[in-house]
Amino acid sequence: MPLPRLSRAGLRRALPVLDWASRYNRDTATSDLVAALIVTIMLIPQSLAYALLAGLPPEMGLYASILPLVAYAIFGTSRALAVGPVAVVSLMTAAAIGELGLTDPAQIALAAGTLAFLSGAILLAMGVLKLGFLANFLSHPVIAGFITASGILIAASQLKHILGVSAEGHTLLDTLLALARDLPQTNLITLGIGVASVAFLFWVRRGLKPLLRRLGLGARAADILAKAGPVAAVAVTTLAVWGLGLHDRGVAIVGTVPTGLPPLTPPSADPALWRQLLLPALLISVIGFVESVSVAQTLAAKKRQRIVPDQELIGLGASNVAAALTGGYPVTGGFARSVVNYDAGAETPAAGAFTAVGILLAALLLTPLLYFLPKATLAATIIVAVLSLVDFSILKRSWTYSRLDFAAVLATIVTTLLVGVEIGVSAGVVLSIFLHLYKTSKPHVAEVGLVPGTHHFRNIKRHKVDTLPGVLTLRVDESLYFANARFLEEYILNRVAECRDLRHVVLMFPAVNEVDMSALETLEEVNRRLSDMQISLHLTEVKGPVMDRLKRSHFLHDLTGRVFLSQYDAWCALQPGAAPGAKQEGLAAQ
C-alpha cells in the first residue's frame, strides 16, 4: 500500500537520499565518480596527516573517512560537501585528549572515539530539537579569528616533525619554547625531507596545473594530476626512506598501519570520561557545524540549490556517530576538500559514498606501503593545507569597519594562541555575546523632523528638516529589552528636561521588533512621568507583532497620547491648531 503523501514528504525530509536518488542517472553517476576519484587522491594523505595532528594512529584518519561519508550521503542535504577529518577539529581533538593525561594508545583511541560519539549525539539532539540557530552565537569575526589562530597553532605544532624533534606544547608560546630548546637535536635528513616536501606542495598548489595546461594537457586531467601532488610527495619520500635506509638514520616514519576493514569500536561507558569530554565535544560540534554549514551554503548558492541547516545537524551527527563506531574520531565538512569536490563536478552526495569506497580500498590494499612514510611529509601536508586558513586581513577589515568586532577578533586570536583552543573559542563566544549586549544596551535614538515637500522623517543632525513647536519626536532604532530599557528612559527624560514648553513626546518604532516585560515597565514609567509634567506620550509606526503584545497589557489603556499608523499622521494631528483626535481612532488605524 503506498505511503500517504504527507508521510512520504516527511520521510524525504528525514532521509534526503530518497530525494536525489530517485533522479539519479548515468550522467550524474559519471560526474560523481570523477569527483570521488579526485577527492580520494586528495583525502588519503590528508586523512593520515590529520590523524597525526590529532595525536592518533594514522589508520584512524582513514577509518574516519569511510562510514562517516556514507552516513552523510544518506542524511545530509548538501550536494558538494565533503565530510571527513579536518585540521581545526583535529587540533581540538588533540587538545581535548591531551587534557586527559592518557599514555596508553588504546585508551587514547577509545577517548577519541568517545569524543566523536558525544559530538555526534549533541549534533543529533540539536537537529531533532531544531537548535541550529545556536551556532549564530559564534559571530563571523570570532570564527575568523579562531580559524586564523588555529592555523598558526597547527603549523607551529608540525614543525617538530619537520625538524625531527619531540617538542610538545598546547599553546603557541609553549610550542615555540619547546622547539627552541630541542633545536640542537634537529635531524638534518628529516629537515631536508620536510622542507623539500613543503616547497614541492606549495609549488604544486600554485604552479603545476598551469604548467600541465601549457604542455597541452586537458583541464580535467591537469586538475587530477595537480590534486595528486600530496600523493606524489608521499610516494617519493616513502621510496627514498625505504631505498636509502633513512629510518635507520633517525627519520621518523609512520610504521605499521593495520590492514583491513574499520573495526567495531563502541564508545567508553565511563561516566567520568564522558564528563571530561562533554565540553570539548560541545565546542567541536558547534565549530564543526558552523564551518560545515558555511561551506555548504556557499557551494549550494552557486548552483541555486539550498541546504537545510537543521537537517545538516542530523547528517553531521550521524557521520560522527558512524566515525565513533568504526574506529574514527570527530569529523565535519572540510572547506578545501568540499571546494575540490564541487570543482570536480560532484552532482550529489553519492560522490562522498564513492569516495568512501576509494578510502576503503586504500585501507585494504595500500596500508602496507605506508610503513616507511616519513612523518615529515605528513607534517608538510598539514602545514601547506592550514596556512591557507590564516587570514590576518580580518584584523584590518574589522578595525576599519567596527572597533568592537576588531576587539572580538583580536581577543579570540590572542587567547587561542596563548591559552589554548578551547578557552580561545569559549572566550570568543562570551565576548561576542557581551559585545552584542553592550552595543544594544545603548540603542541609537535620533530626534527626527519632516523633510520639506515629503512624508519622510530624518535625523535633525544629518538633514535639513522641519520640526513642530512643543513636539519632540524620537526614533528608536533597536528592539527594547531589559539591557537597554533604562537607557531609553534616561535619554527621554534628559531630553525632555532640556526642552521648554513641551507638550508632546512621540516615539517612532519602525525598527522595534520586540518589547519585553522590562521595556514595557519602562514605557509605563515614562508615560507616568510625562503625565506628571502635563506631556502626552504618543507612539507611531508600531509593528503588528509588537502591537499585539502591547494590547495584552494595560499600557495602551493608560497611554496619555495616541498610537498613530504613520509618523506623518502624527505630524498632521499634533500641529498647533489641529483638531484633537480620540485615542481609539489612532488604535483603530493599527
- pLDDT one-digit tens code per residue, 206-230: 888 888 888 888 777 777 777 777 8
User: What's the chain's average pLDDT?
Assistant: 88
For residues 24 and 400, what is the distance between their CA atoms, to the nearest angstrom? 48
Count of beta carbons in the 10 Å neighbourhood of residue 150? 26
H/E stretch holding 567? helix 567-573
Contacts of 221 (CB under 8 A, 6+ apart): 212
Residue 10 pLDDT: 66
pTM of the model: 0.80
Q: Which three cell numbers stand for residue 550?
A: 502591547
For residues 5 and 2, what is the distance between their CA atoms, to the nearest angstrom? 9
Q: Which three cell numbers stand for residue 371?
A: 610503513
Count of beta carbons in the 10 Å neighbourhood of residue 236? 15
Averaged pLDDT, 120-133: 91
Report the percent of the chain where pLDDT is more than 70: 95
Q: Which three cell numbers stand for residue 505?
A: 513626546
Task: Look at phi and psi of residue 327 and say left if phi exceeds 0, alpha if psi is from -120 to 50, else beta.
Answer: left
- pLDDT one-digit tens code per residue, 405-418: 888 888 889 998 99
For residues 525 and 529, what is the distance between their CA atoms, to the nearest angstrom? 6
* Three-state DSSP class for residue 83: strand
Averaged pLDDT, 336-352: 83
- pLDDT one-digit tens code per residue, 137-157: 777 788 888 888 988 998 999
| Residues recorded for the chain | 590
Q: 325: exposed, middle or buried (C-beta count within 10 Å: 0-12, 13-18, 19+)?
A: buried
- pLDDT one-digit tens code per residue, 76-112: 988 888 899 998 899 999 999 988 988 899 999 999 9
Name the residue among 319, 286, 403, 445 with its Cα closest to residue 66: 319
Averaged pLDDT, 248-255: 91
Residue 584 pLDDT: 40
Q: Which residue has the higher pLDDT, 549 or 425?
A: 549
Residue 8 pLDDT: 66
Residue 302 pLDDT: 78
Residue 6 pLDDT: 47
Residue 480 pLDDT: 94
Radius of gyration of the chain (CA): 30
For residues 151 and 326, what is the distance between their CA atoms, to the nearest angstrom? 28
Find the distance separating the first CA and the last CA of the chain, reported in whole Å.
Answer: 52
Backbone φ and ψ for 218, nearest 5 degrees, come out as -65, 160
Distance, C-alpha 442 to centroid of its chain: 28
Q: Which three cell numbers stand for residue 540?
A: 507611531
Alpha helix positions (H), 99-171: 105-128, 140-163
Q: Out of 127-136, 261-270, 485-494, which region has the weakest mean confidence (pLDDT)?
A: 127-136
Report the percent of the chain where pLDDT is more than 90: 53
Residue 221 pLDDT: 76
- pLDDT one-digit tens code per residue, 20-42: 888 888 888 888 898 888 888 88
Name the residue among 92, 442, 72 with its Cα closest to residue 283: 92
Averaged pLDDT, 503-531: 95
C-alpha distances in Å from residue 302, one per residue of 38, 39, 306, 352: 20, 20, 10, 19
Averaged pLDDT, 117-131: 94
Name the residue among 172, 135, 137 with its Cα closest to residue 154: 172
Backbone φ and ψ for 515, nearest 5 degrees, come out as -130, 105
pLDDT at 314 over 60: yes
pLDDT at 585 over 70: no
pLDDT at 346 over 60: yes
For residues 72 and 312, what is the distance between their CA atoms, to the nearest angstrom? 9
Contacts of 273 (CB under 8 A, 6+ apart): 100, 111, 114
* The one-letter amino acid at 25: N
pLDDT at 588 over 60: no
- pLDDT one-digit tens code per residue, 560-580: 999 999 999 999 999 876 655
Residue 207 pLDDT: 83
pLDDT at 270 over 70: yes
For residues 8 and 27, what is the distance between their CA atoms, to the nearest angstrom? 27
For residues 421 and 412, what is the distance between their CA atoms, to the nearest angstrom? 9
Backbone φ and ψ for 175, nearest 5 degrees, come out as -65, -45
Name the residue among 13, 9, 20, 14 with its Cα closest to residue 80: 20
Averaged pLDDT, 172-196: 93
- The two counts, helices (H) then strands (E), for the chain are 27, 8
pLDDT at 589 over 50: no
Residue 31 pLDDT: 86
